[in-house]
Amino acid sequence: MIWIAGMDTRGTYFNKSWLMFTGRTLEETLRTTWTKAVHPDDGQRRKDGQYCWVLHMGVPSRTEEGGPGGYLGSCVDVTDLRRCKGALQEQQDELIKVVQERTSSLLVTNACLQQEIAEHRQAEHKLREQHAQLRALASEVLEAEERERRYMPGGLAMQGLTLNTFL
């Protein structure tokens, strides 16, 4: 929407988009200052009476002699943009909340897994020690069985016993 106003802020020109947006005729618009349709919070009144968020951009204009001539400006309805921005912010806030909750949950799970890994390592270490003790014991039994064979004819085998009987 394009407008031109004099130093008194009375409009001297409003394009068709402005008139369609406001729902006012050119004559009605020219009789008042364009600022009458602007809400203090930068809302522009539409033809249905509702205020919309409008981005106003205006610059001073100069007369041919170089003196102040009024203002030249444009307006863009950004109502939908602001609504979308608000909705996106809500979604972002919700997503951040979900990510924080999930991260917290993963940290707890990770701590539990670290504890479980430590317990498994302890159990593995203990099993390796027990395995080493069993191997040493088996080696001693085999050595004893070998000595017995050498010094005692028939050894345990004569009695129907072998190392497997004890394991």
> How does pLDDT run across 61-85, given as a tens digit for each residue?
998 999 999 999 999 999 999 999 9
Can you tell me the mean pLDDT for 116-124? 97
With respect to residue 166, please indicate whether it lies within any of the assigned structural domains. Answer: no
Lowest-confidence region among 9-18, 32-41, 49-58: 32-41
* pLDDT for the residue numbered 147: 82
With respect to residue 96, please indicate whether it lies within any of the assigned structural domains. Answer: yes
pTM above 0.85, yes or no: no
The phi and psi torsions of 154 (rounded to 5 degrees) equal 90, -35
With respect to residue 163, please indicate whether it lies within any of the assigned structural domains. Answer: no
* pLDDT for the residue numbered 30: 86
Alpha helices in 47-78 (DSSP H): none
Instruction: Label residue 92 by pLDDT band (50, 70, 90).
Output: very high
* pLDDT for the residue numbered 105: 97
* pLDDT for the residue numbered 156: 52
* pLDDT for the residue numbered 74: 93
The phi and psi torsions of 23 (rounded to 5 degrees) equal 75, 15
Question: Where is pLDDT greater, at 38 or 28?
Answer: 28
With respect to residue 31, please indicate whether it lies within any of the assigned structural domains. Answer: yes
Are 91 and 45 part of one and the same domain? no
* pLDDT for the residue numbered 29: 84
Can you tell me the mean pLDDT for 43-51? 82
How distant is the alpha carbon of residue 165 from its chain centre?
65
Residue whose token pair is 């006012």: 24
With respect to residue 129, please indicate whether it lies within any of the assigned structural domains. Answer: yes
Which of 32, 48, 77 terminates a domain? The answer is 77
Which of 44, 77, 110 terminates a domain? The answer is 77
